Amino acid sequence: MSEKHFIKTVTSPLDTVCRGARVEVTIERLLLQLHLWSNDFQQETSATAVRVLFRSLGKCRLNTLGIEQRMIDSDGIQHAELDTFGLTNSFRVGPKPNSSFTIECLTPAREIEAQAAVRGWILFPALESNVYPRRLIFRFEIWHEHASEDDDVYETIEHVLTLDLGNESPLSLLPSPDTLPADEA
């Protein structure tokens, strides 16, 4: 088994790409203290949402099914990804239903073909006020055609957020909704 770990210190909302040997992860949006309503089940929950872009850099397929996605907050507490029960439809997001917007295709695809990219939202538990994400960690299993079961290759991509998130709007970070086209919200 081979494992590589790549770390990116994020000091600016414009520099959120962490590139490994075979995979690249971009943090496109980070939304805190959200209320979510499923369009299918009319359920409400609170969450921290991260929109990511996963890109395969090489000639190998990436498996995100067994990916370990973790968030570590400013208190040092580690959080696992919320189970979305395989939902890939849309969710309404906002401080209350009448001022919310829709997120389509909630989770990223579970396989990424060679030299391709997928985009999606990852949900973590909601954080208390004045507690912010400090590290986002993604561990990928890399497939390659000549690998045996004992030749698993893993890559871990870690974003260390050093931004002052306490002075930002609690609903939109990296970047604000004002800077995105309407269909990106």
Number of other CB atoms surrounding residue 118 within 10 Å: 19
Residue 21 lies in a domain: yes
pLDDT of residue 93: 59
Domain assignment of residue 170, yes or no: no
Is there a domain that residue 96 lies in?
yes
Closest alpha carbon to 122 in 138, 142, 134: 138
Can you give the CATH number for the domain in which 109 is found?
A: 2.60.40.1240
Q: Are 126 and 48 in contact (CB under 8 A)?
A: yes
In a 13 Å sphere around the CA of 89, the CA atoms on its Cβ side amount to: 11
Residue 175 in domain:
no
pTM of the model: 0.79
Instruction: Scan for tokens 């040092």, then name that residue.
Output: 76
Q: How far apart are CA 24 and CA 116, in angstroms?
A: 11
In a domain, 139, yes or no: yes
Distance CA 141, CA 29 (A): 24
pLDDT tens for the chain, residues 1 to 185: 678 899 999 988 888 999 998 899 999 988 887 766 665 556 667 788 888 999 999 887 777 666 778 999 999 999 998 876 545 455 655 555 555 566 665 677 778 888 999 888 888 998 988 899 999 999 888 776 555 565 667 889 999 998 776 655 433 444 433 343 444 44
* pLDDT at site 80: 92
| Residue 179 is assigned to a structural domain of this protein | no
In a domain, 182, yes or no: no
Residue 174 maps to a domain: no
pLDDT at 88: 46
HSE-CB at 183 with a 13 A cutoff on CA atoms is 0
Indicate the number of domains in the chain.
1
The domain in which residue 9 lies consists of 2-165
